[in-house]
Chains A and B, each alone.
Chain A
């Protein structure tokens, strides 16, 4: 993906100052910004042009006050919105499951959407296999390929169920399996658990960590929950209120190692400290966003 480059005067940067053991950059954003334009004029600046490197195999969580442009950023990465400026580069890995067949090429990214993104007219199996069908795999091939992912999210036996027969948590499991089964270079997740109750959420966070740790794909995960970001992330990117820019980057990898589990993180002494640090960075932004929301 290449975008027209706008002026770089206002570049807001985060390049890793001291990358441990030279991690490979998987996703590089250079000057990616977004303005909403109406009548030929910039009506609202959603995203200040930003630079960002996401490393191969990293779980990056993006948090920020509501309306800060974090979902816009993710949608730009997903190809669902075009950036006003800047470039997004994805490093393609060698050797995927497609056996070199060009038509079946591994996709750049796959997204786990917020709730209600499953096709209600397709069985669980067909929903999970949707990306593979788009890539041209035959029915037999894709059904064989998705079965391990259906098993991983504990939906064996529900292959032929329709989404309306499933609970909210089961639906999001299908959604996760759909993205993982597509074997993308990068996984994008847009608050996938935000509509779930607290207990289901904890269970699914644990399962997501477990499945993700098997092959450690690069993940960009947008959430409004500080708790969720701490539990899941290697690094947390904190964004300012609109127009969104990078406020702070918090590296959790040295604090909470891998493999990780939800209870250990939540019950640790560091959890409270990290929470205070993230909230400290966010507090003013949230207050600012609320004040602005009150004005308009």
Chain B
């Protein structure tokens, strides 16, 4: 009797909201972009929008398939990935090291932070002519511009990660006579890791932005170059393919960095 009552008193609410709505959320998330593409396709088919500016999605995907088959896509994508990867590492690794040193050693901080503060506001892409002047039009200038964009974000986040470290961790290190090396590698580095990962994520976002801009003006290959020349030669489908690939790059890099976060910061489980 009592059981029946309770059963009636607790209808759907007995299930957590997330469980009930899970499938709907998933479905909608996939459905809405698909519907948008369908609407686009239809609008072009019935001549409601100009196919010269907005070629139908089906033609964009056909172009993509043709570019993949011919190897054109692989060469553009490969060179852009190489530039981002090498430039990112050249910025991130020194960024972490200098950021740790600035966080732990007041003298290093005193020497470096005015330089960082003074140069950080410069939009990094504005440095491209200078890097082309120094390194020439080749790959080095791209590595340099990306590394420069990434290093600031990683360095600033790493430093603040170390400085916001719970003081008790440093007390424990001191009381147990940890060497300077242990203070760096066993306390400051893992302790700052959540902020370091944040810096890496921001840095990757900036790196993707900067590589496209750099390839617009200073390259003969890469996704940015593809987008720019497609516009100039009015191969609009290829331009949209370039945009699609950039969206995918952003998506994939987010997934990879989230996976890295779960590996590097397992104690901040979400």
Contacts and interface: CB of A to CB of B under 8 A. Distances in A.
B176 A119 contact: no
Interface stretch (A14-22, A105-113, A192-200, A252-260): A105-113
B162 to A, nearest CB: 14
Given A79-B175, A134-B178, A134-B182, A113 B168 contact: yes
Given A116-B166, A162-B267, A80 B171 contact: yes
B212 to A, nearest CB: 36
Interface in B177-226: 177-179, 182, 186-187, 190-191, 193
Contacts of B172: 111, 113, 117, 119, 130
A164 interface: yes
B169 interface: yes
Interface in A112-127: 113-114, 116-117, 119-122
A120 B267 contact: yes
Contacts of A113: 168, 171-172
Interface in B219-269: 265-267, 269
B261 to A, nearest CB: 13
A125 to B, nearest CB: 14
A244 interface: no
Contacts of B174: 79-80
A121 B171 contact: no
**Interface size class of chain B, counting residues whose CB lies under 8 Å from the partner chain:** 20 to 34
B187 A119 contact: yes
Nearest to B190: A121
Nearest to A130: B176
A182 B186 CA distance: 17
Contacts of A162: 266-267
A111 B247 CA distance: 53
Given A119-B187, A121-B190, A134 B168 contact: no
A5 B214 CA distance: 66
B193 A121 contact: yes
A78 interface: yes
B173 to A, nearest CB: 8
A31 interface: no
B168 A116 contact: yes
A87 B177 CA distance: 20
A130 B175 CA distance: 11
A111 B175 contact: yes
Contact of A117 (B168, B177, B266): B168
A119 B169 contact: yes
A248 to B, nearest CB: 29
Contacts of B187: 119
Given A113-B168, A117-B168, A121-B193, A131 B267 contact: no
Interface in A40-97: 78-80
A218 to B, nearest CB: 16
A277 to B, nearest CB: 33
B175 A78 contact: yes
Contact of B267 (A78, A107, A134, A163): A163
A42 B166 CA distance: 28
Contacts of B166: 116
A283 B191 CA distance: 42
Contacts of B182: 133-134
Contacts of B176: 107, 110, 130-131, 134, 182
A152 interface: no
Given A79-B175, A113-B168, A131-B177, 20 more contacts: A79-B174, A80-B174, A107-B177, A109-B175, A113-B172, A114-B168, A116-B168, A117-B168, A117-B169, A117-B171, A119-B190, A120-B267, A130-B186, A131-B176, A134-B176, A134-B177, A134-B178, A134-B182, A162-B266, A164-B269
Interface of B: 166, 168-169, 171-172, 174-179, 182, 186-187, 190-191, 193, 265-267, 269
29 contacts: A78-B171, A79-B175, A80-B171, A80-B174, A80-B175, A107-B177, A109-B175, A110-B176, A111-B172, A113-B171, A114-B168, A116-B166, A116-B168, A117-B169, A119-B172, A121-B191, A121-B193, A122-B186, A130-B178, A130-B186, A131-B176, A131-B177, A134-B176, A134-B177, A134-B179, A135-B177, A162-B267, A163-B267, A164-B269
Please give me the 4 A-B residue pairs with the lowest Cβ-Cβ distance, nearest first.
A121-B190, A120-B267, A131-B176, A134-B178
